[in-house]
Structure 1
């Protein structure tokens, strides 16, 4: 029976797309506790932005934005062939798995460390393995609600907008529905996750958090545009894999889906 399920092309494709979607979302959540300087990373001169009365702000992003281009592509492709229901199912499943991951992190943090592990074989600059463990995995505990809320709202909004645009454009203008749906959904995602994670729970200033949210959205805006050729490439690969007739039937079924 398992062989038959895996052999079925639509099912196999959904598992592959869903696997990349879920894996990248979880990686983004875990790594997103770090904020990095975009200018220093790229070797550009530091920007100096005055915002909401605070001076000298620069472009900073959470590391969680790095895996997001893959999620952009997966969301649009899943929507194309499996409809809003497919995106909704994977989004809810992803939220459940993210919550499970953080429960495991919480339990892991609160286990009593073995002193042989805690104080021996330390990496340079690390004086306590337990403290480092908590520092990396524990930071996300305060932002999990904001992250999950932003992710779920963003993905469901993306799916709805994508479908509405496709009703107007039909099979044409993949770039339009992919880009516009991503830009709209990621505006909500960037605002919600940044303000909840860093303004409500981490006590950063409103100006700093606003700058981070705008920087994150600018990054996602640029990435959404740059990823357009990738969406066409993946779309073409899937069309060849499924065959014209099967792909057409799946896309028609996706448009009827609610």
Structure 2
């Protein structure tokens, strides 16, 4: 039974997608504390601008946005072949494991540090390793709550929009349902995380929340459009791997009866 399951191609794909999805989400959360200048990254001069009355804005983004667009690409691929229940399942798994990881971070930050280790990197400009460790892995609870809530809600929005578009277009216009659902869900994600973490948690003004939301979203919008060819490439490779008949059957199940993954495999 176990051997047959591991040799089943749809099962292999689902395991790979789930593993990458969870790992990518966890890494994005871990590196999200670093801010970087998009203009400097691209070798462009930094220009500040005003939006919604908020002055001095620039494309300063968290390092987590480098990975989050890939998460929505994976959502669309899983949605296409396994259906919305599979997307919700891996989303719940990701949230559970990210929550577990943050609990373990808190434990690690609070265990007593060895006195030798504290100054072990002083010659490298890090006089207190404990403070550095806490600074990297410690995030405010409002940010964690906002990030996880935004992730779950945006995933549900992505799934819903994706299937509404597909019901109207059928198998045509992959770019429309994939990119369209991502564009909508990324807007929801950008707003919710800022609202919870900074409007509720830090009492930011509405104009600051909306201004920074639109700055972040404009970046995500451009990246979502730019990644559209990647979706076509991945889907093409999956169809070749599964075979046209199996791929077509999986897509029909995902779109029609919306069976959970186990039932799709059982029907194979």
Query: What's 1:24 paired with?
Result: 24
Q: CA-to-partner distance for each residue in 1:112-142, whole Å, 9 max, x for gaps? A: 1111111123462211000000001012544
Q: CA-to-partner distance for each residue in 1:151-196, whole Å, 9 max, x for gaps? A: 0000111011101111111111000000110011110001111232
Distance (Å, rounded) in 2 between the aligned partners of 1:57 and 1:121: 35
Secondary structure of the 1:55 match is strand
Calculate the TM-score normalised by the size of structure 2: 0.91
Change (3 A) 1:217 1:239: same
Query: What's 1:92 paired with?
Result: 92
Distance (Å, rounded) in 1 between the aligned partners of 2:134 and 2:216: 26
Secondary structure of the 1:127 match is coil
Distance (Å, rounded) in 1 between the aligned partners of 2:220 and 2:53: 26
Query: What's 1:174 paired with?
Result: 174
Q: Any unmatched runs of 5+ in structure 2?
A: 260-268
Aligned Cα root-mean-square deviation (Å): 1.7
Shift in Å, 1:253:
0.5
Native 8 Å contact 1:22 1:94 kept in 2: yes
State the aligned residue count. 258
Query: What's 1:60 paired with?
Result: 60
Query: What's 2:214 paired with?
Result: 214
Task: Check if 1:249 corresponds to 2:249.
Answer: yes
Distance (Å, rounded) in 2 between the aligned partners of 1:37 and 1:52: 21
Query: What's 2:150 paired with?
Result: 150
Native 8 Å contact 2:25 2:94 kept in 1: yes
Shift in Å, 1:242:
0.5
Native 8 Å contact 2:162 2:177 kept in 1: yes
Distance (Å, rounded) in 1 between the aligned partners of 2:3 and 2:122: 46
Distance (Å, rounded) in 2 between the aligned partners of 1:123 and 1:85: 52
Query: What's 2:265 paired with?
Result: none
Q: Any unmatched runs of 5+ in structure 1?
A: none
Distance (Å, rounded) in 1 between the aligned partners of 2:204 and 2:28: 21
